[in-house]
Amino acid sequence: MRGPEPSGPQRPEGAPRPAPRPRSEGAAGPASGGGPLWFGGDYTPEQWPEDAQAEDAALMRRAGVTLATVGVFAWPLIEPAEGRYTFAWLDGVLDRLHRNGVRAALATPTASPPLWFSAAYPDTLPVTADGVRITPGSRDAYCVCAPAYAEASVRVAAALADRYADHPALALWHVHNEYGTWCHCDHVARAFRDWLRDRYGGLDALNDAWTTAFWGRRVTDWAQVLPPRTTQYRSDPGHVLDFRRFLSDAMLGAYRAQRDVLRARTPGVPVTTNFAFGDWVPVDPWRWAPHLDLVAVDHYPDRPGRAAAEQTAFAADLARSWARAGAAARAPDGAAPAADRPAHPWVVMEQAAGVVYTGGRVVPKAPGELVRHGLGHVARGSLGALFFQWRESRGGAEQWISGMVPHAGPGSAVFREVCDLGALLARLGGARDAEVAADAAVVWDPECQWALGLPSLPAPGLDHTGAAAQAHRVLWRSGRTVEFTAPDAVPPRVPLLVVPALYLTSDTAAERLAAHTEAGGTLVVTHLSGLADPRGTVRTGGYPGALRGLLGVRVERFHPPAPGEEVPLSEPGYGTGRRWGEHVHTTGAEAVVRYTGGPLAGCPAVTRHRFGTGIAWYLSTGLSDAGLARLLADAAGPGPGRPPGLEVVRRRAPGEAWAFVLNHTEAAHPVAAADAGLPPDAVDLVTGRPATGLRVPAGGWAVLHARTG
Ligand code: GLA
């Protein structure tokens, strides 16, 4: 329903803050119960002539937009000179959104400081590892450790909150944008030293953790500790790993400083920031999630077709899992989150409406993909489907990045799909807080990804996230829904837990994995796991270090095949071994598959170990997706047996259940309510008709809903 069109608050620039209006949790929108699914995207009317906003309003109504992200890059407009604020334009934008029934995710603009600010405070510009202070002229030119930047960020956030605390359009605070700018300046050096003092207490512990005795790198004074700037040869791996951890914490501190001023002024409005995916992102979402009212992610697949659907599911399952962990950590005394709130509050804050230019690749979206990807996120728990951006820009650095309203205008297939998705989401609000039912879990740890990117490893190209993505992809194709877990968290109660390349394995993680198996769970551990402790120090005595007893194996040495080489295996269904190989001795486990060629011929390649009442499997080589599918099927039984690419995600709430069906294949497929885990009287919310005899067309979708008593 669209709201009435009251005139928005008309306050002069710099007017004092009105007494904060008590805001009910429901008023905040989907993050905390109540309200429709969010649909919309980044909205930057400041790029367009004033009269374009009237057309925007009409098109947003037509598309069913419910949320617009405003102000992400608007710092120079909000504060054109130090301490001078100009809000009239933003008042106008928010008032118009409100009159048209659209809520606002109001951003703090701190990802892009104004040019005047960089000129006045050049020490806030980031410094590269080579010691080059970057020139202002693009975005993200900030150092979270520079005091002037920290102070200005909190000040502009406070000014926004003072101005809009009472604005009826305000639904969500969007702090900053994709925290991630690296800096190696002297402010960072000081903050890094403080962080290290907290972590290690003294220099002896630091020297021990970083093994500085090697290469005579002993640190004798804190002043010698610097960010990992460019060095003659390899840096100490412990140093580089700790710097990434530090950056995550430093950025979290910057986020929390803004969140605190926003929360103090608008206690009922949820606060978030949007995570980017990618190796450059020095953010540990498990550590951040408890500090966010909901998790927000930006996701851009870098492969077309089915692979894009798999990547979408991977990102969405990660986001939901971070959100679940965050909500659980926030709940008092470990109690479950309140029943009227999602157990896993998260939203896809940005996705592409059309072609994506990413990592040097051009990835177009085929007809139907806009809806399937948007719906795919919602299926996996997103509180809506949001895009970057509403209108494609005419100029600027991202003038060819796609938008919901393309350059061609609303008379376009993209905008028609946008309208289709908006109309569909308007019918799915009932599922918003429903639980996503997972039946397998995968461990993911950003620290392992960072550690496997260090320049001191037994082979190049090692990849924890890649291994997690492969496990996820294989499970996705088998029809399973995955939950991710941090290694130190108690694994969720699922029949199957996969541990891919868990290079850093803490004692706690090893205990948790053992407890899961002992209690009857199935565990599948892949090579590169258990090797080092959280400092990155190798656990000696045989690999896989911390997990030897649990897996019943001892690995004497690595023997990876040459790039491109494949090693034959004794079980044809497993294909060939590739990328990695190990000389495995069993110490309680039984060999399920052996290497049958090359220097490892006769050695176990895949083992199985009964541990307590469960079974722990170990995979000492790399497999193709088909080979890994066979291993996971041997370990945990086959999946539901749907055609690969027919994605079904089940969600349930007390007395109701939904099944989201996304057909990423080129053929129509019948879907029976029972196959999707629903009672026979389910209705397809897409058509409004009973689901009996349902065939989901090639590239199509259905959302089944049923009462469950
Ligand atoms: C990111 C950013 C946006 C925009 C898009 C473009 O996710 O947050 O500002 O640059 O990418 O794809």
Altogether, the residues listed in the chain come to a count of 709
| pLDDT tens-digit series, residues 573-626 | 999 999 999 999 999 999 999 999 999 999 999 999 999 999 999 999 999 999
**Nearest ligand 1 atom, CA 300:** 12
User: According to the model, what pLDDT value does residue 492 have?
Assistant: 66
| C-alpha 274 – ligand 1 centre gap (Å) | 10
- Please say if the pLDDT value at position 437 is more than 90: no
Residue 253 has pLDDT above 90, yes or no: yes
Could you report the per-residue pLDDT of 164-198, keeping only the tens digit for each? Answer: 999 999 999 999 999 999 999 999 999 999 999 99
Residue 12 clears pLDDT 60, i.e. is over it: no
Of the CA atoms within 13 Å of residue 22, those in its CB half-sphere come to: 1
What is the rounded average pLDDT of the residues 244-255?
A: 98
DSSP code for 64: T
DSSP E strand stretches across 401-462: 435-436, 440-443
Above 60 in pLDDT, residue 26? no
398 lines ligand 1 (CB under 6 A): yes
Q: What is the mean pLDDT of the chain?
A: 93
If you take atom 1 of ligand 1, which residue's CA is the nearest one? 298
Protein residue whose Cα sits closest to atom 10 of ligand 1: 398
Strand order in the sheet with 274-275: 271-272, 170-174, 103-107, 67-70, 38-43, 382-387, 346-350, 295-298, 274-275
> Is 434's pLDDT higher than 70?
yes
Cα of 249 from ligand 1 centre, angstroms: 23
302 lines ligand 1 (CB under 6 A): no
The residue ranking higher by pLDDT, 455 or 77, is 77
Q: Give the position, in ligand 1's atom list, of the atom nearest the Cα of 177.
A: 8
Residue-wise pLDDT tens digits, 464-487: 999 999 999 999 999 999 999 999
**Ligand 1 geometric centre to CA of 299 (Å):** 9
pLDDT of residue 340: 59
pLDDT at 116 over 80: yes
In a mutational test of the pocket of ligand 1, which residue from 108, 112, 298 has the highest number of ligand atoms less than 8 Å from its CB?
A: 298
Pocket test for ligand 1, best of 358, 398, 400, 404 (most atoms within 8 A of CB): 398
- For residue 527, is pLDDT > 60? yes
Q: Is the CB of 401 under 6 A from ligand 1?
A: yes
Nearest to 323 by CA among 439, 160, 486: 486
CB atoms near residue 136 (< 10 Å): 18
pLDDT band at 493 (very low <50, low <70, confident <90, very high): confident
The catalytic residues are 178, 350
pLDDT at 356: 84
Percent above pLDDT 90 for the chain:
88
Predicted local confidence at residue 339, as pLDDT = 55
Measured in angstroms, how far is the CA atom of residue 110 from the centroid of ligand 1?
15
Segment 214-230, tens digit of pLDDT: 999 999 999 999 999 99
pLDDT value at residue 119: 98
> CA nearest 412: which of 393, 387, 392, 396?
392
Q: Residue with the nearest Cα to atom 7 of ligand 1?
A: 298
Residue whose entry in the numeric block shows the structure tokens 């890994």: 628
Q: Which residue has the higher pLDDT, 458 or 627?
A: 627
Residue 9 has pLDDT above 90, yes or no: no
Residue 95 CA, ligand 1 centroid: distance in Å: 25
pLDDT at 17: 37
- Closest of 485, 43, 478 to residue 285, by C-alpha: 485
| Cα distance between residue 572 and residue 124, in whole Å | 59
> What pLDDT sits at residue 338?
58
Using pLDDT thresholds of 50, 70 and 90, give the confidence band for residue 641: confident
Residues 6+ positions from 302 with CB-CB distance below 8 Å: 311, 356, 358, 359, 361, 363
Q: What is the pLDDT of residue 164?
A: 98
| Domains along the sequence of the chain with CATH | 38-186+240-433 (3.20.20.80), 437-636 (3.40.50.880), 646-707 (2.60.40.1180)
Which stretches within 139-202 are classed as H helix? 147-164, 186-200
pLDDT digits (tens, 9 = 90+) for 351-387: 999 998 877 888 999 999 999 999 999 999 999 999 9
Is the CB of 275 within 6 Å of ligand 1?
no
Of ligand 1's listed atoms, the one at least distance from the Cα of 358 is 12
What are 379-408's pLDDT values in tens digits?
999 999 999 999 999 999 999 999 999 999
Contact present, 664 and 645 (Cβ < 8 Å)? yes
Report pLDDT for 16: 39
**Which atom of ligand 1 is closest in space to residue 72's alpha carbon?**
9
Average pLDDT over residues 80-109: 97
DSSP for 361-392, please give it: EEEPPPTTHHHHHHHHHHHTTEEEEEES-SB-
Best of 73, 388, 400, 401 to mutate for ligand 1, by most ligand atoms within 8 A of CB? 388
Average pLDDT, stretch 131-141? Answer: 96
Alpha carbon of 632 to those of 39, 471, 624, 650: distances in Å?
37, 9, 12, 21
pLDDT confidence of residue 333 = 60
Pick from 11-15, 170-174, 346-350, 607-611: least confident: 11-15
pLDDT at 651 over 90: yes
The answer, yes or no, to whether residue 459 has pLDDT greater than 60, is: yes
In short, whether 392's Cβ falls inside 6 Å of ligand 1 is: no
How far, in Å, is the centroid of ligand 1 from the Cα of 111? 11
The predicted-structure confidence for 27-64, as pLDDT tens digits, reads as follows: 334 444 456 999 999 999 999 998 899 999 999 999 99
626 Cα to the center of ligand 1, angstroms: 34
Evaluate: CB of 388 within 6 angstroms of ligand 1: yes
Give the global pTM: 0.95
Cβ–ligand 1 contact at 298 (below 6 Å): yes
Q: What is the pLDDT of residue 334?
A: 55
Tell whether the model's pLDDT for residue 104 goes beyond 90.
yes
Q: How far is CA 33 from CA 25, 68, 269, 556, in A?
A: 7, 19, 12, 54
How far CA 290 is from CA of 86, 249, 293, 328, 448, in Å, comes to 34, 13, 8, 8, 21
Q: Determine whether the shortest distance from the Cβ of 177 to ligand 1 is under 6 A.
A: yes
> Relative to the CA of 274, which ligand 1 atom is closest?
8
Integer distance in angstroms from the first to the last C-alpha of the chain?
29
Name the closest-CA residue to atom 12, ligand 1. 401
State the distance from the centre of ligand 1 to the C-alpha of 351, rounded, in angstroms.
Answer: 9
